[in-house]
Amino acid sequence: MGYKKVCLGCKIAFNRDIDLGSEQTYPCPECGKSMSLLSHRFRAPKKNDIKAWKTVKFLIENGFPFQHIYKIEDGKLTNEYADFPNSMKEAKEFIEIYKEQAYKK
What are the tens digits of pLDDT across the range 27-75? 898 999 988 888 888 999 999 999 999 999 999 999 999 999 999 999 8
Question: What pLDDT, on a 0 to 100 scale, did the predictor assign at position 17?
Answer: 64
Distance between CA atoms of 73 and 39, rounded to whole angstroms? 24
- Indicate the domain borders of the chain: 3-101
Greatest pairwise CA separation for the chain in angstroms: 46
- Kindly state the percentage of the chain with pLDDT values over 90: 68
Examine the pLDDT at 7 and tell me if it is beyond 70: yes
Question: What pLDDT, on a 0 to 100 scale, did the predictor assign at position 91?
Answer: 97
Question: What pLDDT, on a 0 to 100 scale, did the predictor assign at position 41?
Answer: 83
Distance between CA atoms of 34 and 14, rounded to whole angstroms? 13
